[in-house]
Amino acid sequence: MRVPLLDLTHQYASIRTEIRAALDRACDAQQFILGAEVAALEAELAAFCRTRFAVGVSSGTDALLAALMALDIGDGDEVMVPAYSFFATAGTVVRLGARPVFVDIEPESFNLDAAAVSDAITSRTRAVVPVHLFGRSADVAAIQRAAATRQVAVVEDAAQGIGAHDATGRLAGAMGAMGCLSFYPTKNLGAFGDAGMIITDDGHLDRRLRVLRMHGETARYEHAVVGGNFRLDALQAAVLRVKLKHLVGWNRARRANAERYRRLFAEACLGERVRLPGQVAGHAYNQFVVLVDDRDQLRAFLQERGIGTEIYYPIPLHLQPCFRDLGHKTGDFPAAEWAARHSLALPIYPELTEGQQQYVTETIAAFYRR
């Protein structure tokens, strides 16, 4: 049996007619940058996320970059980020000339440790970027309490968290000053290429973001600030408008698959061998990441038997070569380093069948019975 880490062909087959009609609509309009499709998606995403505003941009990375630019973050500023995340979380900070201040994660949630945030705040801290990693909501409320002591802005990296919520029902991305979404094809809501969104309740930030995504243009060929080319394509917006209508159902299927994994792993008596993601309400399961010893050997064993996996992320951010000048060393952030050595993502996409999940579980059990 073959079980890919992600199979988008089934999803596309189920909505192919809707997608083709949306693409035809966008092509007939011949307006490919911003325009009516993007404006409609922004309104629909804001309603979905329960925020006042949504600003379409070119990628999740550009969403983070524009959000930090909207706060005028630059030389001499510090921005706190988790030591364990996708590279863009820290890379965008450096692109603005600011300094990323790495903070360790909670071992159980993979998310930013709020207590460590409180300890790391200095007079130069301008923002903190909690990441809703793998689709589990970070403890933004606790991070906001820590940040409030120094009036530090909270910018949520919700690239993997659309549709996730915390214990009180607050949606990922809609809690801080701004939330940054990615619609990279592997995300729960994926475009047909790169696309992103910034959501906010702040009218001033909304206006500033719209200027920044157009090279800082406030009138035709008149530039009040230096921005960037962060505009969202209409074709991507048309695709996302179709997919957004299905997102709740797809997230529900991901949660059901996660619960099936829990049952199957329990039946296979793998609790001593495989540490599963925490069982919390509101998890959107962009990835189903387990923690195992012999991670690399298990991954090779699964690959040989047709099961796709991925390692998110094998090198924690503070040990990346490009950040060597920050002076960090192995042992500085032990929870992040432990996760990097032991994490393995298993297939979790909505169309995954029970038979495929049984095969994944049985194959992992066979690895440990050798």
Residue 274 DSSP one-character state: E
Print burial letters for 325-361: b (CB count within 10 Å at least 16), e (below 16): ebebeeebbebbbebbebbbbbbbbbbbeeebbebbb
Per-10-residue mean pLDDT of the chain, 370 residues long, equals: 95 97 95 94 98 98 98 96 98 97 95 92 96 97 91 96 95 97 98 98 98 94 93 97 98 98 93 90 97 96 98 97 96 97 98 97 94
Residues sharing a CB contact under 8 Å with residue 219, sequence separation 6 or more, in sequence order: none
Number of structural domains, the chain? 2
Q: Does residue 331 lie in a domain region? A: yes
Q: What was the pLDDT predicted at 60?
A: 98
Q: What's the rounded Cα separation, in Å, for the pair 116 and 143? A: 9
Give the Cα separation of 106 and 138 in Å (integer). Answer: 10
174 in a structural domain: yes
Whether 333 and 349 map to the same domain: the answer is yes
Residue 310's domain comprises: 247-369
Element (H, E) at 257: helix 247-267
pTM over 0.85, yes/no: yes
Quick one: angle between helices 35-49 and 234-244, nearest 10?
A: 40
In a domain, residue 316? The reply is yes
DSSP assignment letter at 5: S
Q: Do residues 135 and 161 lie in contact, with contact meaning Cβ atoms separated by under 8 Å?
A: yes
Rounded Cα–Cα distance for residues 114 and 332 (Å): 17
213 lies in the same domain as 252: no
The DSSP letter of residue 333 is S
Cβ partners under 8 Å of residue 199, min gap 6: 45, 46, 49, 51, 53, 54, 55, 173, 174, 178, 179, 181
What pLDDT does 148 receive? Answer: 87
- Residues 123, 232, single domain; the answer is yes
Give yes or no: residues 115 and 180 share one domain: yes
Domain final residue, candidates 244, 260, 277: 244
d(C-alpha 166, C-alpha 164), whole Å = 7
